[in-house]
Amino acid sequence: MQFESEILIIGGGLAGLTAALHLEKAGFNVILIEKIAYPHHKVCGEYVSNEVLPYLDWLGIHIEKLDPSHIKNLEITTASGKSIKGILPLGGFGISRYKLDDFLYQQALKKNIKVVFDTVTDVKFQADTFSINTSSGTIYKAKQVLGAHGKRSTLDQKMERNFMSYKSPFLAVKAHYVGDFPDDLVALHNFNGGYCGVSKVEDDKINICYLAGYETFKKHKNIDEYQKAVLYKNKHLEHIFESCDMIFEQPLTISQLFFGQKTAVENHVLMIGDTAGLIHPLCGNGMAMAIHSAKKASEILVDYFIGNIASQQQLEKKYTAVWNKQFKSRLKMGEVLAAILQREKLTNLLLNGLVKMPSLLNQIIKRTHGKQIAAQILNENRHRI
Ligand SMILES: Cc1cc2nc3c(=O)[nH]c(=O)nc-3n(C[C@H](O)[C@H](O)[C@H](O)COP(=O)(O)OP(=O)(O)OC[C@H]3O[C@@H](n4cnc5c(N)ncnc54)[C@H](O)[C@@H]3O)c2cc1C
């Protein structure tokens, strides 16, 4: 079978779904291919910076309908339990990916967006047309493709992307719990070899999600034993795990998390969200960046289709420049944080520095977060130009 569209999006996480909604609103014919049916849980801290709200409103995504938690306070504790408190300048909200991604998907269904459940296995660009193959044997033709397939996919292997050859020392574990925890707080509790984020999502549920060094993790028999032997050394974590009840049958895990540099364009495909770069989750900004990069790529595609960008080469150059300007320094800061957190002595130095100089925390938040994403759209609709 063969299908044609103007724009095809690979991956229906936050980046892919946001771009699909934006481009459909701008008057394009869009196909989105996602490999897993909605709703589904994802390993994620589920704290979203408020910087995305005006833009989501413009897209017709009204987050309040999902009854999220509203978060404005931040607590960081050291592995030995010392605590630093701060206020998040823009604040954020807590919502599960199970609910948020599904909500965006439901909005896409109401629009003229064709969502297909399949796995993209290859993308080729020839004579100004993309040819996209899927595991079901379908071939799609598109004028432009957005890569929104997340942190790591077999497609990246097929595209021979450089980062796939690096071995990552991190894995992550997440589950939902019930228990006592403030509605307006995101807590980041450090432990030897990692950190654990705790915050409320919808329906009073608590999301507990931690990033751990694979070397320390593999010394233990299972997750439970690891948590008790390593995480519990931070008294705050011991209290949380002992006083809350898990509501998942078992925690979700992912490994091979890579926080280094990727490229914003590969094989002529414009990459958005984690596909272009994953910021260290401690920064709590990956979802906002996924949404923001979808907006930037969509605006540039509109510009390209109305003829303001003359060639494919210029399109790729422009998107790379815009992506770098918007996100590169945030990612670099995340990379520095990740490097520090891999070294116990440096981690203690940083955290003890934060205890003594809490204003340093505001600097880190500022450098790892963006400003509120403007709701103004460049060339809102291709037909109104
Ligand atoms: C431990 C951890 C904690 C985090 N905590 C936070 C936090 O609290 N706040 C925050 O803002 N960010 C956080 N992040 C980052 C955040 O989760 C990501 O930045 C965000 O999910 C990026 O969205 P995305 O759409 O780019 O990717 P994803 O949400 O991963 O979506 C990619 C989609 O592509 C699909 N896909 C993959 N390959 C294919 C294929 N070949 N064909 C078709 N479909 C495909 C996948 O099924 C998936 O649905 C965290 C990340 C980690 C690892």
Give me the tens of pLDDT residue by residue for the chain, a chain 385 residues long.
777 889 999 999 999 999 999 999 999 999 999 999 999 999 999 999 999 999 999 999 999 999 999 999 999 888 888 888 888 888 999 999 999 999 999 999 999 899 999 999 999 999 999 999 999 999 999 999 999 999 999 999 999 999 998 888 889 999 999 999 999 999 999 898 889 999 999 999 999 999 998 888 999 989 999 999 999 999 999 999 999 999 999 999 999 888 888 999 999 999 999 999 988 887 878 999 999 999 999 999 999 999 999 999 999 999 999 999 999 988 888 878 777 766 778 877 887 787 777 777 777 777 777 777 776 666 777 764 4
Answer whether 120 contacts ligand 1 (Cβ < 6 A). Answer: yes
Mutate to test the pocket of ligand 1, among 31, 98, 135, 149 (most ligand atoms within 8 A of CB): 149
Q: Of all protein residues, whose CA lies closest to atom 52 belonging to ligand 1?
A: 44
- Tell me the longest C-alpha to C-alpha distance in the chain: 64
Q: Is the CB of 35 under 6 A from ligand 1?
A: yes
Question: Hey, what are 371's tokens?
Answer: 């400003």
Which pLDDT score, from 0 to 100, does residue 342 have? 65
Chain centre to alpha carbon of residue 153: 14
Assess whether the C-beta atom of 13 lies below 6 angstroms from ligand 1.
Answer: yes
pLDDT of residue 367: 74
Per-residue pLDDT, 180? 96
N-to-C CA span, the chain: 35
Q: What is the distance between the alpha carbons of residues 337 and 331, in angstroms, rounded to a whole number?
A: 10
Ligand 1 atom nearest the C-alpha of 153 is 38
Question: What pLDDT score does 383 carry?
Answer: 64
- Ligand 1 centre from 210 Cα, in Å? 15
Name the residue type at position 175: A
Does the beta carbon of 31 lie inside 6 Å of ligand 1? Answer: no
Contacts of residue 22, defined as CB under 8 A and 6 or more positions apart, other chains included, come to 59, 294, 295, 298, 377
For the chain, what percent of residues have pLDDT higher than 90? 71
Distance in Å, CA 107 to ligand 1 centroid: 19
Domains of the chain: 2-167+257-384 (3.50.50.60)
Q: In this structure, which residue's CA is closest to atom 6 in ligand 1?
A: 45
Orientation angle between helical segments 344-356 and 359-368, nearest 10 degrees = 120
Q: What rounded mean pLDDT belongs to the chain?
A: 92
Q: Calculate the alpha carbon distances from 28 to 111, 306, 378 in Å.
A: 11, 12, 15
Tokens representing 315? Answer: 């399109």
For 381, phi then psi, to 5°, come to -140, 130
